[in-house]
Structure 1
Amino acid sequence: MFNNQDMIKEFIALYRTQTPIDFKKIEIAVIEQQFQKICDAAHHIKPTMEYIGASHIKDALQEMEMLAQENKEFSIIQNEFETLKSHFTELFMELEQYETSL
């Protein structure tokens, strides 16, 4: 895979298609203030961040999951989500640029 540009492009395209769908589940759960749904969605998407080396986003998802498990004040969860959202935006811009460069 490492030297196969077509396979790398396919992986990135799949990642850029599926991950926003999964991220939207977190966003909806935050809007609805559903602790368990936040937990489940963050837990689901967390391992995929390691696939592309986005450990800082994995850590932020872990934090979201923990805050939701502990039923922390929702303003804290919302603040964490906004930070996470900006990380996702940056990640997807970088992925798009990388995909274009291949």
Structure 2
Amino acid sequence: MQDNRDNHPLDLSYLTEIVGHDPEFMIEVFETFTEQTPFYMAELEDALAKKDWKRVAECAHKIKPTFTYVGRGDVKDFVQLIENGARKQENLPHVAEQIASLNSLIDKIYQQIERTIVEVKLKYKL
């Protein structure tokens, strides 16, 4: 299952629906994601380290929609699992493993975003 998420491409249909074919705004959304996600993840990891499961759930809830904007609805669904596990305080060791997996996924998404920004700039001659 993890491998499937690792290789999942960005789906820009939702972003295109929101911003139209405005390449500069698309790039801005991608850059905002790459700038803000480390803060969200630091907050999530801090809550995990403190075993503050309510806060883990809140942090997961907060970061969840950002994956839709960058075309990774599959990761949004994965974060929903983290949120649910933390909120219900079920299988907490698995929640910790999922957060570690999320970090790895985010690194892959950053790479996808970098490539997509280059493609958008080439396509629209920016």
Same fold, judged at TM 0.5 (above): yes
CA distance in 1, matches of 2:28, 2:100: 29
CA offset digits 1:40-83 (Å, max 9, x no partner): 00011111211122111111110001110111243111111122
CA distance in 1, matches of 2:118, 2:51: 37
Query: Which residue does the alignment assign to 1:81?
Result: 99
2:111 paired with 1:93:
yes
- Match in the other structure for 1:4: 22
Q: Distance in 1 between matches of 2:24 and 2:91?
A: 45
Aligned match of 1:56: 74
Structure 1 residues 87-96 or 6-15, which shifts more? Answer: 6-15
CA distance in 2, matches of 1:91, 1:78: 20
CA-atom RMSD in angstroms = 1.5
Which stretches in structure 2 are left out of the alignment for 5+ residues?
1-18, 122-126
Identical amino acids, percent of aligned pairs: 22
**Aligned pair partner of 1:42 in 28, 37, 60:** 60
Structure with larger RCO (C-alpha < 8 A, sep 6+): 2
Would you say the 8 A contact 2:30–2:70 is kept in 1? no
Larger Rg: 2
Determine if contact 1:33/1:74 at 8 Å carries over to the other structure. Answer: no
Q: Which runs of 4+ in 1 moved over 6 A?
A: none
Distance (whole Å) between structure 2 residues aligned to residue 48 and residue 12 of structure 1: 10
How many aligned residue pairs are there?
Answer: 102
Structure with greater helix percent: 1
Gap runs ≥5 in structure 1: none
